[in-house]
A and B are shown apart, each in its own frame.
Chain A
């Protein structure tokens, strides 16, 4: 995965064709709702395994790989809450995120982003609690967006299954960025509630089709996913619970300053691009917002979102020359507990 080039023109013309032929932008969701299709779209099924050409063929992983066109892929995953409390936000995100690639390439100066989109619901009561696409460098991620079912479910407990996204990142992704360059990808979850404390073994087998040894706590999953991903939670202030301290506190405990309040969810692309840009360059918040070309209220909103995210980063300058001898075998006398 990860071939092709994103072409903003192609998106616009495809959208125009759909409009002209009377096809809804979010056709699959509509088909499911009207009973003309059922079940998760096969491309978005977390059980889907890597194809025969992959070195991980048959394994339940989404891959972000380098290729000739994109020699230095940078994986960026955005997984948003599609439960009822989010109101119309998922539809807004579904539309807005189509320009994520544009904004990242043009404004954040990242040459080879590979974007993956996905949706979380509530594993307790939703039929499709986790839907996830592939890492794409081109317009195909727009298809994934259109195929997401906006179930609008969720229970009344102010908790959703965000931890499925962390389970996914921890165990079901493989990226050249990390394997070849030790570089972490970016994972953003977005929603307005707090995470269920655990992912159960049953959920893992139902949703991912694999066996987990034990129930997994959200803390554990974040820790494991954090070894290969820079993780942020974008909190939709315009969702149902803008002022619930228990929700904010729960996330702060989990993610610290990487719990980011987003006042206007329609600015998701700018916030994501801003955070990536800030991390890639170690620029100041002001500079980042300036680089992204925002003005007025939007600039303020993004600035407010980014200001707490500390840019504690080391320079990513690539020097010249090679290490003197071939590198070690990778066997280290250090093990994970």
Chain B
């Protein structure tokens, strides 16, 4: 008897590779729609029981939840197919099971080497782009990011260059250690639009369950418990280090650009379209308006920006996350050692800020371990 976890994995695989509803739920009795739907529900209930996340062992809950969601979506699509009398038909070649409610509105874009199916609706907006949750031929989910104006192509190109730098780092290069924490760039190309227009497309692998620090702030408007914010701050500091190791200034370390996994406590660093060479002369030329208070004074003085500018923004994120006053650098009640480190990051003079985020990270790690120990709690996010 295979383990429940093995069954979940197997069902997930079969769902992704199925070529028809019949292959998933079996043939349905001939007769009226009600009888067919009733039979479908029985089959669904059987399958759902075997993959239900409640039955999965610890560690497999996420996989089970994903499979369960997929199964549910396919059930909905199958019901629709019954109504439209298309239940017995094979899926269109290369499309996999129908996960989106209206398959006919899916579109496909192709690069030199791959093709990607995109749903009609986007699932996110970037600073310069629209993001779609697309699928590769294999059925794997990908993020397909398309510039929202041709004039923004260069921002996406900069992002592709930076992500490529991480992706192509050799195993001996310390930069390769960052790979798990930045989006994996799979493809970058252009597509045409109306009137001879061109849009840059960056394709990245999809990572489920990520939330942005901006979403965490929204979920905890009165501020997050410092014990929970502590590990997030460590991830934000890590993002400044990732930039520094790549010879870059991140340039837009704002709450939208730090993604975290509330269960695994791992980050994904994004927002690389804003990054630039750490050359001592380049500056941050563009700011995300809604996070204006998070940018250091040198930006508005049009002075060169560096690692210290990223550190400043990291500090501001921590203040915002704790429910403090970002503009006035006011923190809620915190252990002195912890507060001191955060406030040092947001000194308005660059020369008074820490020089290296690694020192901040080490100091902060020591401080929080002394105060709260080593374990991180699961961060509860409201159901979206």
Contacts and interface: CB of A to CB of B under 8 A. Distances in A.
Say if A and B assemble together: yes
Contact of B285 (A312, A333, A337): A337
Closest 7 CB pairs of A and B: A182-B153, A321-B109, A328-B148, A181-B198, A182-B150, A320-B110, A319-B111
A313 to B, nearest CB: 8
A253 B277 CA distance: 13
Contacts of B201: 319
A113 B152 CA distance: 22
User: Of A253, A256, A315, A327, which is in contact with the most chain B CB atoms at under 10 Å from its CB?
Assistant: A327
Given A182-B151, A332-B152, A323 B190 contact: no
Given A319-B190, A324-B120, A314 B160 contact: yes
A322 B153 contact: no
Nearest to A256: B279
Given A66-B196, A256-B279, A337 B154 contact: no
B153 A183 contact: yes
Given A324-B106, A334-B286, 16 more contacts: A66-B196, A181-B153, A181-B197, A181-B198, A317-B111, A318-B198, A323-B193, A327-B148, A327-B193, A333-B288, A333-B289, A334-B127, A334-B288, A335-B286, A336-B286, A337-B286
A146 interface: no
A324 B118 contact: yes
B195 A180 contact: yes
Interface in B347-364: none
Nearest to A181: B198
Interface string A80-119: 0000000000000000000000000000000000000000
B148 A176 contact: no
B134 to A, nearest CB: 9
B199 A327 contact: yes
Nearest to A219: B281
B198 A328 contact: no
Nearest to B129: A328
B300 A337 contact: yes
B107 A180 contact: no
Interface residues of B, number: 58
Nearest to A253: B281
User: Of A180, A219, A316, which is in contact with the most chain B CB atoms at under 10 Å from its CB?
Assistant: A180
Interface in B181-206: 188-193, 195-201
A66 B151 CA distance: 16
Interface string B105-125: 111111110010011111001
User: Of A313, A320, A324, A333, which is in contact with the most chain B CB atoms at under 10 Å from its CB?
Assistant: A324
Contacts of B164: 314
User: Of A220, A256, A330, which is in contact with the most chain B CB atoms at under 10 Å from its CB?
Assistant: A330
B74 to A, nearest CB: 22
Interface of A: 66, 71-72, 176, 178-184, 219-220, 223, 227, 253, 256, 312-325, 327-328, 330, 332-337
Given A317-B111, A323-B199, A324-B119, A182 B289 contact: no
A182 B192 contact: no
A322 B107 contact: yes
A320 B299 CA distance: 40
A180 B149 CA distance: 8
A320 B153 contact: no
B289 A324 contact: no
13 contacts: A71-B196, A180-B198, A314-B161, A315-B188, A319-B190, A322-B192, A323-B193, A323-B199, A324-B120, A325-B120, A325-B122, A334-B289, A335-B287
Contact of B198 (A183, A321, A325): A183
B109 A322 contact: yes
A322 B193 contact: yes
A255 B287 CA distance: 23
